[in-house]
Copies of this chain bind each other. A is one copy, B any other.
Amino acid sequence: MSVKIEKDDQPRTISRREFLSGAGIVAASAIGISSTSKLTKGVVQQEWPWSYEKLDVEQVRKLGHLGYYEGACSYGAFHAIVSALGEKVGDPYANFPTLMMKYGEGGVVGWGSLCGGLNGACAAIGLIAGEDYKPLVNELIAWYSATPLPTAISNDLAVNHEFLVSEYKSDQALEQSVSESSLCHVSVTNWCKASGFASGSAERSERCGRLTGDVAAYAVELLNANADGAFEAVLPLSEDTQACRTCHSKGKEFDLGQWTRGKEECSACHEPHD
């Protein structure tokens, strides 16, 4: 006995032993769910992506800043976008358990890994953009890595007391820095060194709140452009990274240097070599 499962129109077979063990049933569900071209025909009818209506970029910037003070960076960016859609579209956004994204705080519970603002905004794109997620997420990380943050817009909002949090930790324009990395550790370090503020300071926290709003806002710019069919990738990898990747990238030639993968700014951690 075998069970045929279709994925991308290629029939697949689960063995009788797997099926009888019960594992096959779960596997069938799993494949049904993940068969993106046939989502509504899967064993479990999982809706994805969810419908999108273009959002107000500046409203989301304020909501991201607010969300940072409610549940930190990762939740803040994700909740800004999803709650704005909850207001505009209603369900299923309105009932999404956005608090699940709190784990991303400080590069995942303080480890300094992937910036939580990025993680939350990328997760929102992953929920909303369907199979278009890849170029949008790629562009968001490239933008994050190359842009002086917090943006002048966020600094102006703070100076003019136009954020939604009534008492935030600094109402001054804060120093801008370029992370050259997707990592919380690098991003925070660069900003602290540029500004002279410590990582546990109120100003660093406020900086990350503004950045959370900025990242959520830029994700919405990308989602809006995509909804209009007008998205274009404009930010290439740096010339240095492109040069490194001629050897050191994902590929099949170990001896050439293809024993790694990644798109980060190599010089953030590595010395160049001849």
Q: Residues of A with Cβ closer than 8 Å to B?
A: 7, 12-15, 18, 23-27, 29-31, 33-36, 44-50, 59, 62-63, 66-67, 70-71, 75, 79-80, 83-84, 86-87, 94-104, 106-114, 118-119, 122-123, 125-127, 133-134, 137-138, 141, 164, 166, 182-185, 188-189, 192-193, 196-201, 249-254, 258-264, 269
Show 14 residue pairs from A and B whose CB-CB distance is below 8 angstroms, ordered by the A residue.
A13-B166, A31-B66, A46-B95, A46-B97, A103-B123, A106-B261, A109-B138, A109-B141, A113-B183, A192-B254, A199-B250, A199-B251, A200-B251, A201-B252
Neighbour of A192 across the interface among B12, B94, B260, B263, CB < 8 A: B260
B30 touches A137 (CB 8 A): no
A199/B259 contact (C-beta < 8 A), A46-B97, A94-B44 known: yes
- Cα–Cα distance between A187 and B95 once the two chains are bound (Å): 36
- Closest B residue to A28 by CB, please name it: B164
Q: Which residues of B contact A107 (CB under 8 A)?
A: 114, 261-262
Beta-carbon contact of A166 and B14 below 8 Å:
yes
> With A50-B97, A71-B34, A111-B263 in contact, do A87 and B188 touch (Cβ < 8 Å)?
no
Give the residues in chain B near A127, CB-CB below 8 Å: 97, 100
For A252, list chain B residues within 8 Å (CB).
198, 200-201
A30 touching B201, Cβ below 8 Å: no
Counted per complex, copies of this chain come to 2
Say which residue of B193, B197, B200, B258 sits within 8 Å of A198 (CB atoms): B258
User: In the complex the two chains form, is B97's CB within 8 Å of A198's CB?
Assistant: no
With A30-B63, A182-B113 already in contact, the answer to whether A98 and B46 are too (CB < 8 A) is: yes
Q: How far is the CB of A212 from chain B (nearest CB, A)?
A: 13
Q: A109-B141, A198-B258 are in contact. List 16 more A-B contacts (CB 8 A).
A: A25-B87, A30-B83, A33-B99, A34-B71, A34-B75, A48-B99, A48-B100, A50-B97, A103-B126, A104-B126, A106-B250, A113-B113, A183-B183, A184-B262, A192-B259, A199-B250
Measured between C-beta atoms, what is the minimum distance from A154 to chain B in Å?
15
Instruction: Specify which chain B residues have a CB less than 8 angstroms from the CB of A98 in the assembled complex.
Output: 33-34, 46, 48
Residues of B within 8 A of A196 (CB): 254
Task: Please determine whether A182 and B108 come into contact, CB atoms closer than 8 angstroms.
Answer: yes
Residues of chain B lying within 8 A (CB to CB) of residue A86: 29, 44
The answer, among B49, B95, B164, B192, for a CB contact under 8 Å with A14, is B164
B108 touches A166 (CB 8 A): no
Report the minimum CB–CB distance from A124 to chain B (whole Å).
8
